[in-house]
A and B are shown apart, each in its own frame.
Chain A
Amino acid sequence: MDTSSFLIQQLINAIFLGSIFSLIALGYTMVYGIIQLINFAHGEMFTAGAFAGLIVLAGLQKVGFVDSHFIISMVLVFGLGMAYVAVLGVSIEQVAYKPLRNASRLAAILSALGMSIFLSNGMMLSQGVSDRGFPNALGWEGLKIMDAKISYGQVFIIILAFALMYGLWIFVTSTKLGKAMRATAQNKPMARMLGINVDKTIRVTFMIGPGLGAAAGIMVGMYYGSVRFDMGFIYMIKAFAAAILGGIGSIPGAMLGGMIIGFVEVGWSAFLPSEWKDVTTFVVMILVLYLKPSGLLGQSATEEKV
């Protein structure tokens, strides 16, 4: 493998990893933006999505539908998985966060932690403690760019991740609900004063954020080939770092932060001793926060209250 193939391969690895971190980080940043809460249960949303996707895909594969109708199968797997987690996200908001909206922020954070433990244990009991293999729907074939290889599965996942992020961007910048969401994030009382149903907007945020997390979960399960009840933890930590790095509350910030974390991880393992890989992610995060405390694309933290 020559150097240019090596670099292309590492670039593919980094984009792939980065797009998944970005998708998860979006869920954090959106929820934080709208109710200033770190949704610690987001990692579990990711895992729940992976399990939901696994169940749908395994079902479809059993009846031989995946081989005959691949596209429809993928729409079903991602659609149903994301829809399930969207409902889960809204339920969590209603049960665990909404009653605490006017309580101290600490109470809400504890509630989020509690929800995370609850969901994690729920999945452990219902889905088992060990790895569950994900049906290999994407196959092993792929494209060759010199000596570098990108599988069709990776191409599919990268395109889907970018499509979802682009869709989200269109949604928040040019639809009514998207603008309502940004308005609510910036100033709840004022948004209310302009006729925006703030509760509804928060609910929608809790559908989209976890929904994107679920999509990332399905992608991870599908590509890496296994799902376990606690797989959300490491992704949660890294995506959280990505959201902070990009400026929590900022949607483009989360996308950028995820990519940066992906590139730092791959770049470090590729050129420097892999022992320190996990440290670097956080060193980069700390450095950025030291130089720009609000994150790369974050707004300085001034919040208006009634």
Chain B
Amino acid sequence: MAELLLKNVTMKFGGLLAVDSLDLEVPSGKILSLIGPNGAGKTTVFNLITGVYKPTEGTITYNGETLNGLHSNKVVSRGIARTFQNIRLFNSMTVLENVQVGLHCRTKSGAIRALLNTPFLVQEEKEIAEKAMAVLEFLGLEEFRNDYASNLAYGNQRRLEIARAMATEPGTLLLDEPAAGMNPKETADLMELILKIRDTGLDIFLVEHDMRLVMGISDMITVLDYGQKIAEGTPKEIQNNETVIEAYLGSGGKK
């Protein structure tokens, strides 16, 4: 049963059709990859899900509830977290603080309590710190917890992005080109990590260019071209799909 479901989703920017009547489901506990040539609309799909854009048409539902028109911060509290293609860490905060910010959407204390600094809050801050450490340990970042995010090595910055997203305790994790800019060793580690995350029971929705990664870990693959779904299936099926090969090998002249 699918938790995240896109039905007939269309996004127009003025006259430009970025996503065209897309139907998509992210299967529970699986890794779904969204691939396609540059400009196919992959990141737009992520932005639609996370409330950066509002779809022109169609519905996006999560666990049966519609997400259309929700602000990004509400989408997170429903259980969808994401990372970005270009790293967006809070550079002048420590590694631990970055993760703590992610955890805060799950805590109760409101503005008034925070200003009054109640004992309840102190207790809650303690719990947050513990949880954040658990997340860092899971991702192997605990030794860097007091470093500023900007001082981390590139691969670890990527990991921290994932850690921060995980800290929001999502049911579904959206990863936007997590392997971008990584060397083969780092990519191999990342694949292992993604599988490890999936095995904790999360659904993973991945946009990636690195075919080795995509083919290596995906349970299902959806191919997008000019905003339209042109194929879907297991990695094996996609590798042998004529339309996909055509789209990728750039037979633009035929179109």
List chain A positions with a Cβ less than 8 A from chain B. 170-171, 174-180, 182-183, 186-187, 189-198, 200, 204, 299, 304, 306
Contact = CB atoms under 8 A, between A and B. Distances in A.
B117 interface: yes
Nearest to B104: A176
A187 B124 CA distance: 25
B73 A195 contact: yes
B173 interface: no
A179 B88 CA distance: 16
A117 B92 CA distance: 35
A182 B100 CA distance: 12
A194 B101 contact: yes
Q: Is the interface of A mostly helix, strand, loop or mixed?
A: helix
Contact of A192 (B71, B107, B109): B71
Contacts of A180: 101, 104
Interface in B183-232: none
Greatest chain A CB density within 10 A among B104, B109, B121 is at B104
Contact of A175 (B105, B121, B168): B121
A186 B111 contact: no
25 contacts: A170-B117, A175-B114, A175-B121, A176-B104, A176-B121, A176-B128, A177-B115, A182-B93, A183-B90, A183-B101, A189-B72, A190-B88, A191-B101, A193-B76, A193-B81, A194-B73, A194-B101, A194-B104, A194-B105, A194-B164, A194-B168, A195-B104, A195-B105, A204-B111, A299-B91
B105 A186 contact: no
Nearest to B164: A194
8 tightest Cβ-Cβ pairs between the two chains A and B: A195-B105, A195-B76, A177-B114, A192-B72, A190-B88, A176-B104, A183-B101, A186-B90
B144 interface: no
Contacts of B106: 195
A306 B97 CA distance: 22
A179 B111 contact: no
Contacts of A197: 73
A306 B176 CA distance: 14
A53 B140 CA distance: 53
